[in-house]
Each structure stands twice: as C-alpha cells, then as structure tokens.
A and B are shown apart, each in its own frame.
Chain A
Amino acid sequence: EVQLVESGGGLVQPGGSLRLSCAASGFTFSNYDMHWVRQAPEKGLEWVSSIGTAGDTYYLGSVKGRFTISRENAKNSLYLQMNSLRAGDTAVYYCARAETTVTTGGYTEYFQHWGQGTLVTVSS
C-alpha cells in the first residue's frame, strides 16, 4: 500500500524557516516524480513545487528563490526547505506522488496518492 506521511509543519514567525519532510513507502520512490501542493485557509489547492526522478526541479513563481525541493531516494524521502516565510505561505502542505502519461504533445501528470498534509502557520 502506497503511503505518504508529511511532517515538519508548525508555527513560525515571518522571515523564518521550516523544513517539511514526506516519508514514502509501499512503492519504489526513485521511480516517481514528486510534488508539493498546498491549501491556504479558505482557499483552493495550489501547486507549489515538483522534483523529477533525475532531480530536475520546478517552482511556483511566488516561492521561487525561497523554497527548495529535494529528495533522498535512499531514505524514500521528499523535502521542502522553506525560507523567508511570509503570512501568505500559511497553508496545509501536501506531498503527492505523480503518475506520468505520455501524450501527443509531450507528457502530463496527475496525482493519485496524497499524504494527509502538515500545517504551516506563519505568524508573529
């Protein structure tokens, strides 16, 4: 059974840092692209960042330069280092495993497996 368990959330002051972790089990972690998706209070889902099997990374524009996604395949773990945090980063952060489909124009991804989320609150 695929399991994704996030940890590392908490209360942090504006300008502070936090490192989220996602422990994966039940599948060959190194074979899958992995993503972070967040949901701010009373808002919708928002994609944050992704990392491919080759270590290629992508970021939402508003977090680029502040957040760093990484993975440690030997530990079946995904990370999100969040620096210079702002009130607008307050959200539940989910990690998700991507399924990749090759299409006529390239490839596309969707998320079949999600963690339960970890809450990050940025407030003084």
Chain B
Amino acid sequence: QSALTQPASVSGSPGQSITISCTGTSSDVGSYSLVSWYQHHPGKAPKLMIYEGTKRPSGVSYRFSGSKSGSTASLTISGLQAEDEADYYCCSYVSSAVFGGGTKLTVL
C-alpha cells in the first residue's frame, strides 16, 4: 500500500475551523476500511482522535469530527485552541496499516 496523501501543513486562528484531508484509493480509504485519525505532539505517544471514520473516543473533544467522501477522508477541528497545535495523521487498515504523511497544524 502507498502512503495516504495529506497536506503538509494547515493553519488557523483560535476559534476558527480547519479541515485536514486524507486521500487514498478505492483499495484503502475508499474501501470497507474505516479511517482513524491521530494527534501527535513531539516526544509523546500518538493519541486516537477519530476511529471508524466518524466516531470519537471517550474524552476527545466534540470539536473533532471525521467524515468521508469517496476515497477522501477528512478531519475537521472546530473552535481551534492553542492546544490543538500538533501533527495529525490519518490511517487506513486493510490487512495492514498505512498512514498518511502527516499534517502539521499551526494555531496562529
């Protein structure tokens, strides 16, 4: 499997909303695979933010939401906060896992 395609960086001001896209193919994101999203602060363990495409784990803010259209999945963060600044990765699993290249979110 090839890495999924994410924008290298996105930015937004506090209170704004941003969307990170994750583009794959009909064999991964566009298949029965359900995308998960991870937040990663340098030096820390990655944190699951969205699973099965749209579900939030307990403890994750309602400001994080996931969606999918065709072979593109998206992570939307509303009401941006300074603490949201981190790297974000999508992941598709079809017999093995493949991650996106990662998106650096900067909160201006």
Tell me the A residues contacting B by CB distance below 8 Å.
35, 37, 44-47, 50, 58, 60, 94, 99, 101, 103-106, 108-112, 114-117
Contacts and interface: CB of A to CB of B under 8 A. Distances in A.
Contact of B98 (A47, A94, A116): A47
Interface string B36-50: 101010001111100
Interface of B: 3, 31-34, 36, 38, 40, 44-48, 51-52, 57, 87, 89, 91-102
Which of A58, A111, A115 counts the most B-chain CB atoms under 10 A from its CB?
A111
A111 B36 contact: yes
B99 A106 contact: no
Given A45-B89, A46-B99, 20 more contacts: A37-B46, A44-B101, A45-B40, A45-B46, A47-B97, A50-B97, A99-B51, A103-B32, A103-B33, A104-B32, A106-B32, A108-B33, A110-B51, A110-B91, A110-B93, A111-B46, A111-B48, A111-B91, A112-B51, A116-B44
